[in-house]
Structure 1
Amino acid sequence: MKFQKVHILLLAIVSKAEAEASTNQPCSAMSEVSSAPLDNMDCGIASSKTVLLFLSLLFWAVGAALAYIGAYLIQRYNQFSIDVQDKVVLAPAIIIIAFSVVMFLFGLLGCCATIRESKFGLSIFFLIIFLIFAAEVAALVLSFLYQNKINPELEKLLNATFSKYDGNDKEIVDNLQSELKCCGVFNYTSWLNTNWSASHPNSVPKSCCINTNGTCNGTLTDLKLLHLNGCETELESIIHRVFYYAMGVILGFAILKFLGMLSVCVIACSNGSRRSGYEPLYA
């Protein structure tokens, strides 16, 4: 009888343990299932923060690159003694430098808002990214249209400068022809319609010579000693090359801005759904 009672008692204990185990198993499975979306959400937040921080650093890097390009363009103008008061000629450099300042300011805002995970800061950052994204798309279209207007204005400026050249004030034209290795506005024959030709027939300035320290004196009797191509083409190629570099940077940055807007949405939605305060960057 005692063994039977002990056996019945053990069976009762085992069956009770099995019942408790079966009751707790759905709860543990449910907790595992519910924790999976949270882990995925945390992974999405961390990835979005990484994208935004990378975007902020690129704001600064691109701003520095654009500032260098704009300064280089102005330096080339000064080197050739081109009148930088001409708004059409100076406009590309001013636009590029203005973009560099904007890039730095927005990079600073994005970095602070991302690390602090400020909902207000991220909202402003999103609005700014969207506006800049739209502006950059418009800038790409306008750049293609604007570059065609540079050529006639540049031609007019060079014609006015070269026509006044008489050999006395030689800094502007001689520097331009020496640096670009060119001669005349369109080619060396452009000098035949200037003040220089009236006082120096059948010759061009010595700065048209390939080797200014040699025997070349600018006469048209031996064209092998002269640069024959015009300065307008060379100067246009420099300006257009700078334009293409700037447009390539703007296009790449516009794509990154689109990814940044998506990242801001991820963080903002996560803040509204399950979290309060701010989450550490490496949480």
Structure 2
Amino acid sequence: MAGVNGCIKYSMFTFNFLFWLCGILILALSIWVRVGSDSQGILNSTDVGSSSHVAADILIAVGAIIMIMGFLGCCGAIKESRCMLLLFFIGLLLILLLQVAAGILGAVLKSESDRIINETLHDNTELLSTTGESAKQFQQAMAELQKEFKCCGLINGAADWGNNFQQHPKLCECLDMQRSCTTYNGTQVYKEPCISTIKDLLAKNFIIVIGVAFGLAVIEILGLVFSMVLYCQIGSK
């Protein structure tokens, strides 16, 4: 009977080693998106913040599973274990199907999520002008966002801060003559509100997630082909 093709065997091992590294990369990237997003503090106390955590949490789980699957595939290839290869194939197929389902669901719900984000940001404008303890975290996150991205307020510029602007007049102070500035209560402030910046940050993270998922799908399909070919070759020994 025919033996196992060495090229296929070691290609499978190399592939799964790279697959394992991809799992580490996805895990690290998803954790960064989960806790290191610049807009995280803005959405942290809202329903959108909770919803945005779900996608990152799913990617964290996927990254961890891929690391396990890569290890399983490496062992299956080196030891020529049909059981490990079959488990690898089934697990990889399930992950691929879940990714496809998540992609379809994300595309269907995209317009709805955009509407929810708009409504949430408009509602949260009131938090900038209040003095309660519950609003301080949001205001601090907004102050850091304004300083980093040279914008002011959420929707209506400096006016969103209400009376709080008098206590902190340097919140939106515009010192960069190359940027568009306007005068508010005798102070030069950034003219552009931060809503567009927040939307751009969310869109950037979404594109990162889509790019990772697409690249991962290609790798997974190759993994399915390699594992099944090797599985059949081991069975014909």
Does structure 1 residue 80 correspond to structure 2 residue 41? yes
What stretches of structure 2 of length at least 5 have no aligned partner?
Answer: 177-181
1:103 is displaced (CA, Å) by 1.4
Deviation at 1:250, TM superposition (A): 1.6
Instruction: Give the alignment of 1:255-266 within 5 angstroms.
Output: 255-266=218-229
Structure-2 change in CA distance of 1:47 and 1:260 (3 Å) = farther
The C-alpha deviation readout for 1:214-263, integer Å capped at 9, x for no partner, is xxxx842789x432223222122122212212212221221222222222
Q: Is the 8 A contact 2:129 2:163 kept in 1?
A: no
Q: Is 109-118 or 86-95 further displaced after alignment?
A: 86-95
1:85 and 1:185 mapped to 2: Cα distance? 15
Relative contact order: is structure 1 or structure 2 higher (C-alpha 8 Å, sep ≥ 6)? Answer: 2
Contact 1:167–1:205 under 8 Å retained in 2? no
Tell me if the contact between 1:78 and 1:84 (Cα under 8 Å) persists in the aligned partners: no
Per-residue deviation at 1:81?
A: 5.5
- Aligned counterparts of 1:150 and 1:205: Cα–Cα separation in 2: 34
State the match for 1:253 in structure 2.
216
Distance 1:66 1:268, change over 3 A: closer
Query: 1:159-170 alignment to 2 at 5 Å?
Result: 159-166=122-129, 169=136, 170=139
Work out the CA distance in 1 between the residues paired with 2:105 and 2:115. 17
Percent identity over the alignment?
Answer: 24
Q: Distance in 1 between matches of 2:78 and 2:169?
A: 62
| Residue matched to 1:173 | 142
**Given the alignment, which residue of 73, 89, 95 partners 2:58?**
95
TM-score, length of structure 2 as denominator length: 0.77
Aligned twin of 2:15: 55
- Count of aligned residue pairs for this structure pair: 223
Q: Where does structure 1 differ by over 6 angstroms across 4 or more consecutive aligned residues?
A: none
For 2:152, what is the secondary structure of its paired residue?
Answer: coil
Name the SS for the 1:206 alignment partner.
coil
Q: Report the Cα distance in structure 2 between the residues aligned to 1:238 and 1:78, rounded to whole angstroms.
A: 7
Cα distance, 1:208 vs structure 2: 2.1
Q: 2:72 aligns with which of 103, 109, 125?
A: 109
How many Å apart are 1:79 and its aligned residue? 6.5
2:99 corresponding residue in structure 1: 136
1:80 Cα deviation from its structure 2 partner: 3.4
CA distance in structure 2 between the partners assigned to 1:199 and 1:257 by the alignment: 53
Alignment of 1:104-253 (within 5 A): 104-166=67-129, 169=136, 170-188=139-157, 191-192=158-159, 194=160, 196-197=161-162, 206-211=170-175, 219-220=183-184, 225-253=188-216
Say which SS state the counterpart of residue 165 (structure 1) adopts. helix
Q: In 2, distance between residues paired with 1:221 and 1:250?
A: 48
Give the aligned residue type for 2:70.
Answer: G
Distance, in Å, in 2 between the alignment partners of 1:84 and 1:62 is 32
Give the Å deviation of 1:158.
Answer: 2.8
Q: Give the 3-state SS of the residue equivalent to 1:164 in structure 2.
A: helix
1:25 is matched with none
- Output the amino acid matched with 1:162: T
**In 1: Cα distance, 2:45 partner to 2:129 partner:** 22
CA distance in 1, matches of 2:40, 2:221: 39
Unaligned runs of 5+ in 1: 1-36, 213-217, 276-283
* Separation (CA, whole Å) in 1 of partners of 2:164 and 2:175: 23
Specify whether residues 48 and 123 from structure 1 end up closer, same or farther in structure 2 by C-alpha distance, changes over 3 A only. Answer: same
SS of match in other structure, 1:131 = helix
How far apart, CA to CA, are the structure 1 residues paired with 2:194 and 2:218? 37
Q: RMSD of aligned C-alpha atoms? A: 3.2
Q: If the length of structure 1 is used for normalisation, what is the TM-score?
A: 0.66
Instruction: Report the Cα distance in structure 1 between the residues aligned to 2:211 and 2:42, rounded to whole angstroms.
Output: 28
